[in-house]
A and B are shown apart, each in its own frame.
Chain A
Amino acid sequence: MLDNLVLGFSTALTPENLLWCFVGVLIGTVVGVLPGLGSTTGVAVLLPLTLSLEPVTGLIMLAGIYYGSQYGGTITSVLISTPGEASSVVTTLDGYQMARQGRAGAALAISAIGSFVAAIISLGLLVALAPPFARFALDFGPPEMLAVMILGLATIVSFAGDNRALGLLMALTGLLISTVGVEPGSGTSRFTFHSIYLLGGVPFVEVMIGLFAVGEVLYQIREGAAAPIRAGFRELLISKADLKRSAAPILRGSFLGFLFGILPGAGSTLASFMAYGIEKRVSKRGHEFGTGAIEGVAAPESANNAAANANFVPTLTLGIPGGATTAVLLGAFMINGIQPGPLLFDEQPALVWGLLASFFIGNVILLVLNLPLAPVFAQILRVPYGYMYPMILLTSLVGAYSISNSMYSVWVVLIFGIIGYFMKRLDLPMAPLVLGLVLGPLFEKALVQTSAIGDGNIGIVFTRPLALAVMALAIIQIVAPSLMARLLRRRNSSRARKADQAAEDKTEEHSHG
């Protein structure tokens, strides 16, 4: 164990590897900042560039791009409400509000810190416990995944806002959009209208760029140019109180993110949504969520970072990709002539441990780079919106094009831009739509597989203990809020009565005195 770490760090700390790790993190951050270029596209687009390097160096750089772009995506989520990928959609909810209130610096700093803490925790878990966790992940067959997806869809109640029906409506719309394309079970093509582009479904990264980036631009044009936000330098720095408020959410988010991250496929998006939902429940400031609560940035950011690292558990120990980006990374292993699989740790110790050690180093670099830069990035908001939005539009469209080198993506962005505008205008919540769109295919696949394994009987979900446990969680998730709300209301009202009483007493005292 210890000599493995020593081996890892001695590999990762060679000047060359250190340099490329730094370059990877830096490029990753830049790529993440560009709308449309999330970590998957970033790694895929940049993969060819790393082929001239030594395999371990190339992989270190690609991994750097991976988590660098995660952070870069956060920057745009906070500053211009444009998430780089689905897992930072949740960050926009409170992060963007914080930015509008001049606290972008604090939001960016807390996500840098949260991401760093999450990275260190999850890497510790990864290094110490990867094999048993991988074993555990294998127990999640289709019925268990079906339960997990139901649990995920149940989080919608946390995002629905005031009108539950609208949240549900948007989630269903997302689900419906996700059914476009070739159905996994029977190969039937659904709602494709004979277009080859629709065969692969409606691509959700493009949908996100449209809804968030273009939709927000159109909305801002209609609502009138926002005044540049002139926050004082002090407001840009993160305060002690912020840190204190965020500590528990970061820890909860990290562990939750790790758990979801090791399940192949479910990944970071679900983790960030769940972390936000849970935090909204348990936090004393639950009612502030959505209006710029720092916990609402800290929790999902830690969760998606922990999940991103946990994705490496199945990837490195089993050779099974944990998510879209790790799938591309696995491809990079194979292009470099390295065969991923259970023997990877034994056959390529220098590579695996070097890669893991480089995660530590890369995350330290990210923190050192981004903490001081957070207030600087926040200065972007001083640029008047009228000057900024043509640039946002331009980069969104170029970014969209580069996802699959296709004008089709550009059209999708445009169409969903208009949809996003109307959703903002009519107060239709976007987060449930994204959740439905992302979880839809996973949910349906699990459903189809479960019914195939059960030979037409979906009830097998209730005969498998793990699946049953997750289903129970999902039911609690749906039922608990109304129960909790009733309890809270009772407690609050009694407390309020007491407070009134106390106040009255005080006034009386005063009047007497």
Chain B
Amino acid sequence: MTEPSAKRGIAVEQAVVYGLLTALGLFAFVVALGYGLFLDEFRVGPGLVPAVVGGLITLIAGWELVATLRGQRTPHDKGLAEIVAAAAEAPPGGVSSDDDLPGGTLPSGEQAGEGTSDGVDIFGRTAAMRGRQLVIVFVALTVSVLLVPLLGFLGSFFLLSLFISAAVERRSWISATIVSFAAVAVIYLVFVVFLRVPLPAGLIGIGG
């Protein structure tokens, strides 16, 4: 069902990554030329290593990009992407771990029973839901780092933990609060009290 689209999705991402790497290599190569490849008497200059490395990256990533665009790269011979694609389509059991290789002693029997179809995990989430979750968690992470100057390090990460536990992982507000508070308290004791790390306190000054 989802097989072709999942593979196509991976292929698009691959193409984007190789494209970015090609551009990065080219950029590094050009900039590095400006640093000077050699000093006097052909001594290695500051630009030599980045120029050579950048050039090689451009070549290899460019080659992979072309190969991907021509459809020669997906799925990988035995790569993870294939397993991922397979996992996305197959009933769970294997969905839960990226490496549920054949022959592993993972007690998968009981999981296989829980799974239904459409790649849901043990909490009954579909691939699309998990994709959304990923974005939410990452945005929440970024926002909480941005909030550090305002709320302080501990304050802002208390909120992060609370948000993830309660909103993303759907735990009750009470247990989420308790767990987040405990986590922050432990971090405070270990890092601030014991290791004396000067965590930023923020404008409101929660837990410096």
A95 to chain B, nearest CB (A): 12
Residues of chain B within 8 A of A440, CB atoms compared: 49
Interface: B199 (CB within 8 A): yes
Interface: A168 (CB within 8 A): yes
Per DSSP, chain B at the interface is helix
Per DSSP, chain A at the interface is helix
Bound-state Cα–Cα, A190 to B14, Å: 28
Bound-state Cα–Cα, A5 to B5, Å: 68
Given contacts A102-B107, A292-B104, A407-B148, contact A221 B130 (CB under 8 A): yes
Residue from B28, B31, B137, B198 within 8 A of A405 (CB atoms): B198
Given contacts A223-B87, A227-B111, A394-B160, contact A422 B17 (CB under 8 A): yes
Question: Do residues B197 and A402 form an inter-chain contact, with CB atoms below 8 A?
Answer: yes
Bound-state Cα–Cα, A383 to B120, Å: 20
Residues of chain A within 8 A of B169, CB atoms compared: 386-387, 390
Question: Do residues A190 and B32 form an inter-chain contact, with CB atoms below 8 A?
Answer: yes
Question: Do residues A427 and B43 form an inter-chain contact, with CB atoms below 8 A?
Answer: no
Residues of chain B within 8 A of A101, CB atoms compared: 104-106
Question: Do residues A179 and B53 form an inter-chain contact, with CB atoms below 8 A?
Answer: yes
Residue from B28, B99, B123, B191 within 8 A of A176 (CB atoms): B28
Interface residue tally for chain A (C-beta within 8 Å): 83
Interface: A173 (CB within 8 A): yes
What mask results when residues 78 to 92 of chain B are scored 1 for a CB within 8 Å of chain A, else 0?
A: 111100100100001
Given contacts A222-B134, A427-B81, contact A165 B141 (CB under 8 A): no
Interface: A414 (CB within 8 A): yes
Residues of chain A within 8 A of B165, CB atoms compared: 387, 390
What mask results when residues 407 to 435 of chain A are scored 1 for a CB within 8 Å of chain B, else 0?
A: 10011001001100110111110000000
Interface: A172 (CB within 8 A): yes
Question: Do residues A176 and B50 form an inter-chain contact, with CB atoms below 8 A?
Answer: yes
A389 to chain B, nearest CB (A): 8
What mask results when residues 40 to 81 of chain B are scored 1 for a CB within 8 Å of chain A, else 0?
A: 111111111110011011001101100000000000111111
Given contacts A176-B24, A390-B160, contact A227 B96 (CB under 8 A): yes
Bound-state Cα–Cα, A448 to B127, Å: 50
Interface centre among B50, B98, B106 (most CB of A within 10 A): B98
Bound-state Cα–Cα, A125 to B60, Å: 44
Enumerate A181-222 residues with CB–CB distance to B below 8 Å: 183, 185-186, 188, 190-191, 214, 217-222
Enumerate the 10 nearest inter-chain pairs by beta-carbon distance, A residue then B residue, closest first.
A224-B121, A456-B41, A456-B42, A188-B46, A183-B46, A427-B80, A427-B79, A402-B197, A226-B96, A451-B44
Other 7 A-B pairs with CB < 8 A, given A223-B97, A387-B179, A390-B183? A186-B46, A214-B141, A217-B137, A225-B96, A402-B191, A414-B142, A455-B41
